[in-house]
A and B are shown apart, each in its own frame.
Chain A
Amino acid sequence: MELLSNLIPEFLNFWLESGLDKFIRVFWYFILFELTRYILLDYVVYFLKSLNKKEYRIRWQEAKSRLRAENPLLSIVVPGKNEGKHLYKLVKSLNEQTYKNFELIIVDDGSDDDTPIIGRNLEQLGMIDLFLRNEVRGGKASAANLAVRYTKGKYIVHLDADCSFDCDAIENIVIPFFMDDQIGAIGGNVKVRNYRTSLATKLQAIEYLKTISVGRISTSYIGIYKIISGAFGAFRKDVLEQVGYWDIGPGLDGDITVKIRKSGYKTVFEPSAVCLTSAPINFKILAKQRLRWNKSLVRFRLRKHADVYRPHANFKWLTFFALFENVFYNLVLDVLWWIYLVDLVLNFHDQLYYVLMMNLALYICTGYIQMIIIYLYSERKKEELYLWLFVPFMTLYNGFFLRFVRTRAYFQELFFYKSYEDPWNPVKSSRQARLNGF
C-alpha cells in the first residue's frame, strides 16, 4: 500500500516533468490513430446527428408510413448447418415481429444432426414457409444463394439461426429502403445475448457495442460503412441479383457489402434494428472465429477487391475510403503497432514502466469515454451499465489478445493463403476459389 502511495505521485511527477512534447513523442500511435478514430469521430458524429435529430425522426416516420402502406413481402432467409436446435426459438422470435408480411425460408446445408427432422416438422406445422436441404454441404454462400433463389419477396433479410430479435427489428431494418432509393443494403445492430456467461462474452459484448453499435453508426454516417453482418442484414432483391448474390466465403458478408457498394448502391447501418446473438464463450473458440474473420480481410479487401484502390471508370472515393479505412486500421496499424513497440523498447527502455502505466491509464480512460457514447446511443442503457465494470480488461483484450490473433491471421493469409484450407468451407468450393483466384 505504501509502495503504491509512493508510485502514483512518482508516476504523475514523471509525466508532468516530461512535458507535452515527450508525451506526444511516446504516445503518437494512440494520439494519431486511436484517439481520432475511436473517440473524436464517434463524438463528432454523435454531435452532428443530434443537430439533425428532429428532421431525421420526421423522415423516419414518413418512411415507416410508406413501408406500411406498401406492405411489401419480405423474404427472411436463414442458411446454416446443424442449426436445428435454434430453429424453434428463431421462429417464435419472428412471430413476435411488428411487421408480419414475410416468408421464412430455411436452408439446411448438409446437417448431420436432427436439423432436417426439426425443419421438416416446422414446415409441416406451417411455422416455416419453405425448408430446403442440401444433402451435400455446399458452404454458407451456396445455402444463402439457394434460399434467395426461392424467395418471392421484394426485400431479402438474411439472418443467422442462433439470433433473436427485438420485436420491431425486422420492420426497422427495412425502413431505410423507403428513405433513400439508392440504398441497396442495410446492416442490423448485432449485440451479444450471452454477455453474462463468461469473461470472454462480457468483453465481446463491449467490443460489439463499440465496433458495431457505435462504430458502424459513425462509418455509416460518413458513408464508408463496409460490412453488413451475416447475422442480420437486409438487401434489395434486385440489387442482390445484380451483384450475383453471395460468393464463396469466409467473410462473405463483408464481400457482398463491397460488391453492392461497387455497383453504385449505398450501404447503411440501422442501429434500431437490434438482433441478439450468442458469442463464443471461451477465448479458444473466439480465437478460431477471429482468425477466420481476419484472414478474410486480406483475402477479400486486399486481394479480391483490389480494383477499389485503383483509378478506373467506376472508381468511387467513398468505397475506396471504406476499404482503405478497414485495411489501414486493421492491417497497416497492426504492423505499425509492432514497430511502435520496438520504438518504445529501443528508445524508452529505461522509462518503460511509466510508459506502460500511462498506456494502461489512457486506454482505460478512453474505454470509459467510449462507454459514455455507447450509453448515449443505447436502447438498453440500464442493462449495459453492468458491462462498465469490465472495461479495464478491454485494454488487454484489444491490445494484446485480439492483436495477436490478428497478426497471426494476416501472416497466415498473406504468406500461406490459409483461408482456403478453412474447414468452414467445403474443400470442393475452396479448391475452385483458389484456382480462380477468389
Chain B
Amino acid sequence: MILKNIQTAGIKDLSYDHLHLKVVSDPLSVNLINLHAIDGIVIKNNDHISVRKILYQIRSKNDPEIYLKPIYLDSRKLFKKLGQEVDGYIMEGINPLNSSAGTEIRERIKHIQNDVSIIQDYNDRMIVKSLQYAYTRETGLYPYRDRSSSIGYHFPFLSSVVSDKDLVHIKSRLDKFTGKGSLSTVLEDRVNLCHTCQSSYLNFHEACSKCSSIDLDYENLVHHFRCAYIGPESDFKNGDHLICPKCDKQLKHIGIDYDKPAEVASCNSCAHSSQETQMKAKCVDCGEDNTLPQLQTIAINKYNLTSEGADWILDKNLGNEPSEEILNDLSIVPIPIYNLLMEQEKIRSGNRKDSSSFACEIIVDENVFSALSEDFRNQLKDEVLKIMRTYLRPIDILSAKNAGHYHILLPDCKQPEAFNLYTLVLDNLNKLLTDNMRSGQQIVSGDLRKL
C-alpha cells in the first residue's frame, strides 16, 4: 500500500554525484518519505503555492536533520522567485547544483544537536530554526522582495513556516534579539503597514480634509497683477485664452501680466476647497482607510548571527535562550542551577527521615503568550510572577524555562502544605488568565511530585 502511494505520489529517486536525493511533486508525498535516509529533496512542481506547502511540510518539523535538509527546485523559473528559500535548482541536461555545498550544509547541520521543541513559543521556535538554517548555509537572514507577501518582503525559512501576519510579530522579536547582541542588523527598507491587517499593499491618495472624499480636482490659482483679481484658472479660461473675469483683459505673459502663486484642491463631493488635503492610505487587502499617523512603519533589516548568537542557537539547552527577559529577574534561578539544587535537595532530604521536599511544574498554555503583543506579554509575565511569589515561602526556589514554563522547588515541606501551595498557585494563575483571556478552559496545568 505504501509503495503504491509512493508510486502515485510521483516520488522518484535521484542520485547526483554521491548525493541521494528524492524528487517530490506533491505536498502530501513528503510524509511518505524517510527524510533521514536521504541527502536532500528536489521539488518538481511549477506551482508556487504547492512548493510553499512542500517547504512548510519539511521546515515545520522539529528535527534539525529534517527541517534543515537541503532542498532544490527543478524549475529555473520558480527558482528566480523562491531561490532564497532553497539551496539551488536542478534541471534535466543542466546540473548547476553544487554538490560540495550540499555536503557542507550536511556537515554544519551536524553541529546542531539541540531540541527546538523545548522552546514553547511557536514564533520563537521558528526564529531559532531560521537562524540555524542561516548558520548551516553560512549566510544571514536576508529579506527578499516578494509581492505575494503582505508586508512586501519574505525572510528565508521563516516565510515558509509562519504566516505574513506573524511575520510582523516575529520581526519585533528578531529586533529584540538584536538588542541583546545575538544578531547584528543592516537596514534594508522601511515598510508602511495597514493598522488593521498589517498589509503593505496600500494605495496612497489625497483626500478632502472635510469629507475624506478622494474625488478632488486640483487647479492653479491665477493672480492678475493689473487688477489684483485672483482665483482658480477656470475663472480665467476662455477657450485657449485667459481672460480676467474682473477687468476683461487678456492675460498674455506669465510673470508680466500674471502668475500662479498656489494650487487649490476642490472636492467634488462636498464642494470644499482647500490647500490642505489629507493623505490617506487605503489598504487594498482589507479596504481600511489609514491616516498617515495610523500606519505602522516597520524596518526591514538584514540579520546576521553574531558569535554570541551562534553560541545560543547551537546551545543544547535552548530553553535558556537570552531573549527571555524573565531570566533577567534575579529571583529566578536558571534551569541548570535549579537542576543542581534539586539534585542536592534530593540527597539532603533522602538522608533525613523527618524531612521531605517537593518539586512542582507550572505550565501555561503557549497560545496565551503568543496571542499577546510584546507589552502585554511583559505585563502578564510580571503578574504571573507576582502571584507565585505571593504564595511561595522565602525558602522556595523558582526557576523558569520561559515565560510560560516554571519549576518550583519546595524544600522542607510537608505533603499537605506542598499540595496547598501548589493548588493555590495553580488556581490563582488559572483565575487570572481565564478572567483576562475570557476563556472557559483550563489554561494553566501543573504537576507536583515528591523528591
Contact = CB atoms under 8 A, between A and B. Distances in A.
Secondary structure call for the A interface: mixed
B357 to A, nearest CB: 66
A366 B411 CA distance: 107
Contact of B261 (A110, A123, A245, A438): A110
Interface in B255-285: 255-257, 259, 261-262, 264, 273-276
Contact of A248 (B209, B228, B256, B275): B228
Contacts of A278: none
A429 interface: yes
A290 to B, nearest CB: 23
Given A135-B262, A138-B223, A142-B223, A429 B228 contact: yes
A124 B246 CA distance: 32
A432 interface: yes
Nearest to B272: A130
A248 B247 CA distance: 13
Contacts of B262: 132-135
A428 B259 CA distance: 10
A149 B235 CA distance: 10
A150 B273 contact: yes
Interface string A11-44: 0000000000000000000000000000000000
Contact of A135 (B231, B261, B273, B276): B261
Contacts of A137: 261
B275 A145 contact: no
Nearest to B263: A135
Contacts of A5: none
Interface in A138-153: 138-139, 141-143, 145-146, 149-150
Contacts of B276: 120, 123-124, 131
Interface in A414-438: 428-429, 431-433, 436, 438
A149 B230 contact: yes
Secondary structure call for the B interface: loop
B226 A433 contact: yes
| Interface size grouping (class) on chain A | 20 to 34
Interface string A193-209: 00000000000000000
Contacts of A146: 221, 223, 230-231
B229 interface: yes
A218 to B, nearest CB: 32
B226 A145 contact: no
Interface of A: 110, 120, 123-124, 130-139, 141-143, 145-146, 149-150, 244-248, 428-429, 431-433, 436, 438
29 contacts: A130-B274, A131-B276, A132-B275, A133-B262, A133-B275, A135-B262, A136-B259, A136-B261, A138-B225, A138-B261, A141-B228, A145-B229, A145-B231, A146-B231, A149-B230, A149-B232, A149-B235, A244-B247, A245-B246, A246-B228, A247-B227, A247-B228, A248-B228, A428-B255, A428-B256, A428-B259, A429-B228, A433-B226, A438-B226
